[in-house]
Structure 1
Amino acid sequence: MLVLLPPSETKAPGGDGAPLDLAALSWPGLTDVRARLVAALVALAGDPRAARTALDLSEAQDDEVTRNAALPGAPTLPALERYTGVLHAALDVRSLTRAQRARADRRLAVGSALFGVVRGTDRIPAYRLSAGSALPGLPPLRALWRPVLGPALAAVDELVVDLRSGAYAALAPVPGAVTLDVRSERPDGTRTVVSHANKAHKGRVARLLATTTGEPGDVVRLRTLLRRAGLHVEHDGGTALTLVVPAG
Structure 2
Amino acid sequence: MRILLPPSEGKTPASPDRAPIRLESLVYPHLADQRLAVGDALQAASRRPDALTILGVGQRVAADVERNRTLWQQPAAPAHDIYTGVLYAGAQLGSGRARHLAWADKHILIASGLWGWVRPGDCIPAYRCPMNVTLPGVGPLGPYWRRALKNAFTRQMEGELVVDCRSGAYQKAWMPNVRVCQEHAIDLVQVKVVRLTSGREKVVSHNAKQWRGLLTQALVRAGGDGLTINDPGDLVEAQPQLFATICDSLGGEHLSGARLEGGDGRWTLTLVTA
Fold-level similarity (TM above 0.5)? yes
Q: Amino acid of the residue matched to residue 42 of structure 1?
A: Q
Q: C-alpha separation between the residues in 2 aligned to 1:144 and 1:229?
A: 36
Aligned-pair CA distance for 1:246: 2.8
Q: 2:132 touches 2:169 (CA, 8 Å); kept in 1?
A: yes
Q: 1:64 touches 1:127 (CA, 8 Å); kept in 2?
A: yes
Q: CA RMSD in A?
A: 1.8
Alignment of 1:1-248 (within 5 A): 1-15=1-15, 17-47=18-48, 49-154=49-154, 155-157=156-158, 158-174=160-176, 175=178, 176=186, 177-188=188-199, 190-212=200-222, 213-230=226-243, 232-238=257-263, 239-247=266-274
Residues 52-109 of structure 1 deviation map (CA, whole Å, 9 limit, x = unaligned): 1011222343211211012101111111221001100111223312222222222222
Q: 1:183 touches 1:193 (CA, 8 Å); kept in 2?
A: yes
- Which protein has greater RCO, CA pairs closer than 8 Å, 6+ apart? 1
Q: C-alpha separation between the residues in 2 aligned to 1:26 and 1:17?
A: 20
Structure 1, 82-91 or 235-244: larger mean CA deviation:
235-244
Distance change >3 Å, CA 96–CA 217, structure 1 → 2: same
Distance change >3 Å, CA 22–CA 197, structure 1 → 2: same
Structure 2 alignment gaps of length 5 or more: 179-185, 244-254
Moved over 4 A (4+): none
Aligned-pair CA distance for 1:196: 1.3
Aligned-pair CA distance for 1:33: 1.5
SS at match of 1:237: strand
Aligned-pair CA distance for 1:243: 2.5
Residues 158-206 of structure 1 deviation map (CA, whole Å, 9 limit, x = unaligned): 3221111111011111333221111111232x11111010000000000
Q: C-alpha separation between the residues in 2 aligned to 1:22 and 1:103?
A: 22
Q: C-alpha separation between the residues in 2 aligned to 1:114 and 1:8?
A: 13
Q: C-alpha separation between the residues in 1 aligned to 2:194 and 2:269?
A: 7
Which position in structure 1 is the counterpart of 2:251?
none
- Name the TM-score, length of structure 1 as normaliser: 0.91
Q: Amino acid of the residue matched to residue 148 of structure 2?
A: V
| Amino-acid identity (%) | 36
